[in-house]
Amino acid sequence: MVNPPYYAADSRYDGSMTYERCGRSGIQLPRLSLGLWHNFGDVNTLANSREMLHFAFNNGINCFDLANNYGPSYGSAEETFGVIMKKSFRPYRDEMIITSKAGYDMWPGPYGIGGSRKYLMASLDQSLSRMNLDYVDIFYSHCYDPNTPMEETLQALVDIVRQGKALYVGISQWPYEASQFAYDYLAAHDTPCLIYQGRYNMIDRQKAQEGIVEQAARNGVGFTAFSPLEQGILTSRYLNGIPEGSRASLGKFLKREQITPELVDKLHRLNDIAAARGQSLTQMSLAWLLKDNTVTSVIIGSSSVDQIRDSLGCLSNITFTPEELQAIDSILC
């Protein structure tokens, strides 16, 4: 049977989704964005990817986070997104924030990795073609490259905006000092940095501890948190063992050995706090990030529509009592 045409839900902006201004820009981002790092590659079924993307957009998640090498195989998450763009999302393009990135390894040889102008420019052209897009909304330097002068990487970002291939730029996982250089350079070249993307969740608080979250706010730059669920650890996924097909069972980016009895014990205790708040552990973990408006958006990953539905539920309660925060800290810190 042929798939019926996609019509976005009329209620997509009437539900629980809220939008937060991104730094000092004119852009508002949904508090939850959807990332395509896992589960959207050519090893996954197109039907599930399509369902998740449709469900997300129908529920106000209008920001989709991609990178050149998401898959596997590299490039295939962008290709999947390109299929959905062509078949479903095209009429809604102007309602969406679509991102891509380059920095980590993508193709063989010295021009398929790093922060060079050559790599960034070529990679974005390839990403646009895979995604069936004329431009991305945000193009990121995916990581800091100590072997490329920062001016070269940053000027490439400026020129990409001037070419009209990206509307805004961001940096991801850059260290504190380099980030300040980037904010100053980009502002001085009329391309203010829109957003910093960093790893941040209840377990991994390094970005806050290093002052990077606060630095972004001080510079009028938004902050978006990736791996907000510590790749699924901060959910109910591993409370009763390691399910087949879960990220830990696949063992590439999350290893079985990381799911220790001590960790599972902590997760059960966190789950009790979540239950007392009337939330799932997933919802409390996301709410913990969203309680501060210095975190513009959190980028969730997902392997099913049910997981996205669960995550969306966090938005009904993103405030914590001091006692709740202290109880969480006493388990994790």
Residues contributing to the site for ligand NAP (CB under 6 A): 35-39, 65, 142, 172-173, 197, 226-232, 235-237, 246-247, 282, 299-303, 307, 310-311
Nearer to ligand NAP, 54 or 247 (CB): 247
In angstroms, the CA 266 to CA 206 distance is 19
Nearer to ligand NAP, 78 or 183 (CB): 78
In angstroms, the CA 299 to CA 169 distance is 17
In angstroms, the CA 66 to CA 76 distance is 10
Find the shortest distance in angstroms from Cβ 96 to ligand NAP: 15
E strands, 151-190, in order: 166-172
Find the shortest distance in angstroms from Cβ 287 to ligand NAP: 13
Find the shortest distance in angstroms from Cβ 321 to ligand NAP: 24
Nearer to ligand NAP, 39 or 132 (CB): 39
Nearer to ligand NAP, 126 or 249 (CB): 249
Find the shortest distance in angstroms from Cβ 328 to ligand NAP: 17
Nearer to ligand NAP, 156 or 298 (CB): 298
- Which residue(s) pair with 140 in the sheet? 101, 170
Does residue 69 contact residue 41 with C-beta atoms inside 8 Å?
Answer: no
Nearer to ligand NAP, 33 or 116 (CB): 33
Does residue 30 contact residue 60 with C-beta atoms inside 8 Å?
Answer: yes
Does residue 286 contact residue 307 with C-beta atoms inside 8 Å?
Answer: no
Nearer to ligand NAP, 292 or 306 (CB): 306
Identify which of 166, 158, 222 has the alpha carbon closest to the alpha carbon of residue 186.
158
Query: Could you give the residue ranges of the DSSP H alpha helices within 222-280?
Result: 247-250, 261-276
Find the shortest distance in angstroms from Cβ 23 to ligand NAP: 17
Find the shortest distance in angstroms from Cβ 2 to ligand NAP: 29
Residues with Cβ within 8 Å of 104's Cβ and at least 6 positions away in sequence, in order, are 67, 69, 113, 142, 143
Half-sphere exposure of 242 (CA within 13 A, CB side): 14
Find the shortest distance in angstroms from Cβ 323 to ligand NAP: 25
